[in-house]
Amino acid sequence: MKLLFVAGFLAVIVYNLGAGLYYMLVDKGTSKRTVNALTRRIGFSIALIALVVLGIATGVVQPHGVGV
């Protein structure tokens, strides 16, 4: 379930990145849709990082070292 949650967040982040690229190419600077899409992407990225940190702090997510 945790993996699906993170994968869903990453899918939304990549979608907003693609939307920003599309709006940048189509609008040619005449609207703020590019800025809005990239702002949403940054917001989702920060929210995902905060949720992972919260999950580690509460013990829901168990971090592990590489090669340990």
In this structure, are residues 60 and 2 in contact, taking their beta carbons and an 8 Å threshold? yes
Answer whether residue 1 shows pLDDT above 70.
yes
Q: What is the average pLDDT score of the chain?
A: 90
Considering the entire predicted model, what is its pTM?
0.81
- Please state which of the ranges 12-16, 37-41, 45-49, 61-65 shows the lowest mean pLDDT: 61-65
Q: What is the pLDDT of residue 64?
A: 84
Pairwise CA distance, residues 9 & 43, whole Å: 11
pLDDT, tens only, 17-39: 999 999 999 988 788 999 999 99
1 vs 7, more confident = 7
